[in-house]
Amino acid sequence: MGKQKVIIIGAGITGLFSAYYLLQEGFEVTLIDKGNLTDNCSSGNAGMIVPSHFIPLAAPGMISKGIKWMFNSRSPFYVKPSLNPELLRWGIQFWKHANAKHLAVSAEPLRDFHLLSKNLYNNLTSEGTIEFGLKHKGILMLYKNAEVGEEEIHVAKQAKDLGLDVDILDAAQVQELEPYVTLDVAGAVHYKCDAHLYPNQLVQNLITYLKERGVGILTDSAITSIEIKNNHINAVHTAQQKHEADLFVLTGGAWLPGLAKRAGLDIPLMPGKGYSFMHQPGDDQIVHPALLLEAKVAVTPMNGQVRFGGTMEIAPVNNKINMKRVEGIWNAIPQYYRNYKVAMPQPDQIWYGFRPCSPDGLPYLGYTKKIENLIVAGGHGMMGVSLAPATGKMVAQLAARQQTLMDISLFSPDRFA
């Protein structure tokens, strides 16, 4: 009997890590993607590994903030008003979950998920098989006003209760950590448990690694239909050909709901459009990755440059660059890094991608009851890079019918069915 064949639909960061760990378990793996692998969402990602992000997107206070932000075209979070039934359903579920009870249930599993990924990233670095610029400098949550500071210090205390390594810093202590720039902040929380990497290098080196070890990667191959008989997928079809396998893994990023529908599944998810751009610093080096809290802007030093990114625009997939939203990111920079000169990027210097956002802010991971040979792995929102290795590792464990490294029942792909 030969190796079991697995087809992964979607070659984003989750699909690539699923292939990596499935290969280690001895499966024959093929990745099928509708794109050409140059435009996947993780390439413009902030590259942060974030155990600090134990609070899901659907969190207490997000509804009132979201309503306020909807009237500001430069705001960090925006839901485009629409009668789209998928958006309305997503919004109702988001509203149902944006409460303290949901946070209490989600915090520990999310923390464990991120810490598992961080350990796997550390293992990859120590093995030396794939290089991706991993740095353990933590992440600074920079704040300017007392109210936001109070909220963040409250979260930091929750983080400490969860066993995470966190420091609460005043303005002078933060400035000591950033000697090459002049900060204009009231203080910060330093999540020393966090880390960062260079996602472009990670994606490219993973692709190279997989190709060299015989993983088939089929690009420009959108799935046109899924052949199902007796709760079992026999094959998937692209415009070019039919592909058969023993087991299928559905990743698909922001395109997951459409792919799921082809398999007769209902997996609610909306694209959260975000933007980023790169800056080449001179002597004004930024040492630590940071989140500019009031502006919800991510700042990551990587590969000798700095990546600025942000905004979360919940709307159907569209390829327009909203320059006002990019301006919102750009305007925030000198408010925190005084005298830090960054040119407003031109449209051709701006990257954008669609984060796959589930309505409760939790990923989807596991087998589905309807189809016995299908594993779903997606819906990671802004945390795709941070959660990808742990997701891929547990996809491989599920495929091999092993016990997963953590309880994933909260992440069931059937939870809204």
Q: How is 85-121 classified by DSSP, letter by letter?
A: HHHHHHHHHHHHH-SHHHHHHHHHHHHHHHHHHHHHH
Spatial distance between the Cα atoms of 162 and 302, rounded to a whole number of angstroms: 29
Spatial distance between the Cα atoms of 114 and 54, rounded to a whole number of angstroms: 8
Cα–Cα distances (Å) from 129 to 209, 210, 384, in that order, read 8, 11, 21
CB 224 within 8 A of CB 211: no
CB 313 within 8 A of CB 274: yes
CB 384 within 8 A of CB 355: yes
pLDDT, residue 66, reads: 62
Which of residues 318, 337, 357 is at a domain's end?
357
Which range in 43-52, 236-245, 311-320 is most confidently predicted, on average pLDDT? 236-245
Task: Say which CATH number the domain at 234 has.
Answer: 3.50.50.60
The arrangement of strands across the sheet holding 5-9 comes to: 216-218, 28-32, 5-9, 247-250, 374-378, 364-367
- Helices 384-399 and 100-127: crossing angle, nearest 10°? 80
Which of residues 339, 357, 375 is at a domain's end?
357
pLDDT at 48 over 80: yes
Same domain assignment for residues 217 and 277? no
- For range 370-375, the mean pLDDT: 97
pLDDT at 1 over 60: no
pLDDT, residue 80, reads: 72
* CB proximity list for 104: less than 8 A, separation 6 or greater: none
Same domain assignment for residues 142 and 258? no
pLDDT, residue 74, reads: 66
- For range 50-76, the mean pLDDT: 74
pLDDT at 381 over 70: yes
> pTM value?
0.95
The model's pLDDT over 149-173, given as tens digits with 9 standing for 90+, comes to 999 999 999 999 999 999 999 999 9
pLDDT, residue 41, reads: 58
pLDDT at 355 over 80: yes
Amino acid, res. 336: Y
Domain that holds residue 406: 5-42+201-266+361-411
The model's pLDDT over 301-321, given as tens digits with 9 standing for 90+, comes to 999 999 999 988 887 888 889
Give a yes or no: residue 416 inside a domain: no
Backbone dihedral angles phi then psi of residue 354, each to the nearest 5 degrees: -115, 110
* Cα-trace Rg, the chain: 21
pLDDT over 70 for what percent of the chain? 95
pLDDT at 64 over 90: no
> For residue 255, which of 226, 223, 225 has the smallest C-alpha distance?
223
Amino acid, res. 40: N
Same domain assignment for residues 85 and 157? yes
Give a yes or no: residue 398 inside a domain: yes
Same domain assignment for residues 154 and 212? no
Give a yes or no: residue 48 inside a domain: no
Give a yes or no: residue 168 inside a domain: yes
pLDDT over 90 for what percent of the chain? 80
- For range 349-378, the mean pLDDT: 95
pLDDT at 388 over 80: yes
Distance of CA 365 to the CA centre of its chain: 14
Task: Say which CATH number the domain at 61 has.
Answer: 3.30.9.10
pLDDT, residue 36, reads: 84
Spatial distance between the Cα atoms of 131 and 201, rounded to a whole number of angstroms: 7
Measured between its terminal Cα atoms, the distance across the chain in Å is 36
Same domain assignment for residues 286 and 332? yes
The model's pLDDT over 77-97, given as tens digits with 9 standing for 90+, comes to 777 777 788 888 888 898 999
Same domain assignment for residues 161 and 249? no
The model's pLDDT over 268-278, given as tens digits with 9 standing for 90+, comes to 999 999 999 99
Give a yes or no: residue 111 inside a domain: no
Give a yes or no: residue 104 inside a domain: no
- For range 393-403, the mean pLDDT: 98
Same domain assignment for residues 22 and 83? no
**How many structural domains are present in the chain?**
2
The one-character DSSP state at 305 is: E
Same domain assignment for residues 369 and 282? no
Give a yes or no: residue 190 inside a domain: yes
* 70 pLDDT tier (thresholds 50, 70, 90): low
Residue 199 in tokens: 């996602």
pLDDT at 239 over 70: yes
- DSSP per residue, 123-153: HHHHHTSS----B---EEEEE-SHHHHHHHH
Spatial distance between the Cα atoms of 48 and 335, rounded to a whole number of angstroms: 22
Same domain assignment for residues 141 and 250? no
Same domain assignment for residues 165 and 68? yes
Give a yes or no: residue 27 inside a domain: yes
Spatial distance between the Cα atoms of 288 and 302, rounded to a whole number of angstroms: 10
pLDDT, residue 53, reads: 94
The one-character DSSP state at 42 is: G
Same domain assignment for residues 290 and 389? no
Same domain assignment for residues 262 and 282? no
pLDDT at 4 over 70: yes
